[in-house]
Amino acid sequence: MPAISPNASAPPVANDRGTPLPLPAELREQVRRLERGHSAQPAGQAAKPLGLPAIDALLPDGGLLTSALHEVEAGPAPSGRVAAHDGAALGFTAFLMSRFSGGTLLWCRQRSGAFDAPPYAAALSVWFDPARLLMVTARREEDLFWAMEEGLRCPGIAAVLGETRAADPTAGRRLSLAAEKSGVPALLLRPQPGPAQSVCATRWRVASAPSRELGARWRVELRRNRFGTPSAAEIASWLVEWSDETHSLSLVPQALDGPAGADLERLAG
């Protein structure tokens, strides 16, 4: 009678010398799916590409996962000072939201008294039609997270964005789970760098960078990339620019980056 050991059918993961063998591709895919825990998501539709090959190559499935939580925080200015405003991070978030087409975009925010600066739809219209927006203003953080969760459960919602300073790990975990369950992406926009949360699939730090002709040029850092490919650099960082003419985001060549680059441009122009 043959004895069936639990390891009999498992592929050998290590040879005699103890060096790991490469796993078969489908098994690796399976492990990734288990890790991600969004098996309900049909393969191939799980991610929306950003349209920038350099960034998409690092992201899982070649794009932004739909069933996950993504964080965008406004980074410090190039000089290291705290950024004066999060206009650039807001623009990048709006660009990310525009990737999720078809359906209502739920935008949850908290009002900040007399100095309130709400998003301005006339500017957002370059990324998506503001007619798709459903704006929610919450008084308390609990209400904001509750509204976001409710939105994530609704099938007609394309993406949910929450603007908050609060970094509540429990709320982040709940949002992440709700996004995994429904396949609706959740985004968090922070006006300042907040404490790192482990639950988000990607975390971006966006700061405005000196531009050529007052265009939207941003320094984008991918500070966390949970299911994606690790980049060569410690923190993947790109200088990107939004073009109203081509209606797309493009990488700024590194040679033109920085003050020296600006001089080069002036020489070229």
Partner 1 sequence: MRLADARTLVPDLVTTSVEPQADRRLIETLASWCDRYTPWVAIDPLGSAIAEEGVEACSAGGFGGDAGLLLDVTGCGHLFGKDEAGERALLADLVERLAKHDFTCRAAMADTAGAAWALARYAEKQADLFCPRNGQRAALAALPVDGLRLDKPILETFLKLGLRRIGDLYPLPRAPLARRFGDLPLTRLDQALGALDEPIEPRRPPPAFRTRLAFAEPIGRPEDIAAATSRLLAALCTQFEQASVGARKLEIALYRVDGSVDRTSIGTSRPNRDNPKLMKLFEEKLGELDPGFGVELMILAAPEVESWSGAQDALPETGATTHPLGEDGTIDLADRLALRLGAENVVRLAPRDSHLPERVQVTAPVSQPVPEGAWARLASMKGARPTRLLQRPEPVDVLALLPDDPPRQFQWRRHAHKVVKVEGPERLADEWWRPRPNGRVMPANIIPPVRDYYRVEDDDGGRFWLFRDGSHNAAKWFLHGFCA
The residue ranges that bind partner 1 (CB under 8 A) are 77-79, 81, 83-88, 90-92, 94, 103-104, 106, 114-126, 129-139, 143, 146-147, 150-151, 154-157, 207-211, 213-214, 216-219, 242
Query: Nearer Cβ to partner 1, position 129 or 263?
Result: 129
Contact 110, 144 (CB under 8 A): yes
Whether residue 33 contacts residue 166, with contact meaning beta carbons closer than 8 Å, is answered with: no
**Minimum CB separation from partner 1 for residue 17, in Å?**
53
User: Of 101, 93, 89, 70, which is closest to residue 203 (Cα–Cα)?
Assistant: 70
Nearer to partner 1, 54 or 121 (CB): 121
Helix (H) / strand (E) containing 36: helix 25-36
- Cβ-based nearer residue to partner 1, 50 or 124: 124
Least distance between partner 1 and beta carbon 131 (Å): 4
Q: Which is nearer to partner 1, 43 or 115 (CB)?
A: 115
* Closest alpha carbon to 70 in 137, 207, 162, 165: 162
Q: Shortest distance, CB of residue 101 to partner 1, whole angstroms?
A: 13
Min CB(76)–partner 1 separation in Å: 9
CB of 86 vs partner 1, minimal distance in Å: 7
- Beta strands 104-110; 157-163: pairing state: parallel
Residue with tokens 């998501």: 41
Least distance from C-beta 110 to partner 1, angstroms? 10
Of 180, 139, 184, 190, nearest to 159 by C-alpha is 184
Amino acid letter for position 191: P
Classify residue 42 by its DSSP letter. Answer: P
CB closer to partner 1 out of 151 and 228: 151
Measure the CA–CA gap between 133 and 137, rounded to whole angstroms: 13
222-240 burial, b for 16+ CB within 10 Å, e for fewer?
Answer: bbbbbbbeeeeeeebebbb
Q: Smallest distance, Å, CB 59 to partner 1?
A: 22
Between 29 and 116, name the residue whose CB sits nearer to partner 1.
116
Q: What is the DSSP letter of 20?
A: B
DSSP 8-state secondary structure symbol assigned to residue 15: -
Toward partner 1, which CB reaches closer, 9 or 79? 79
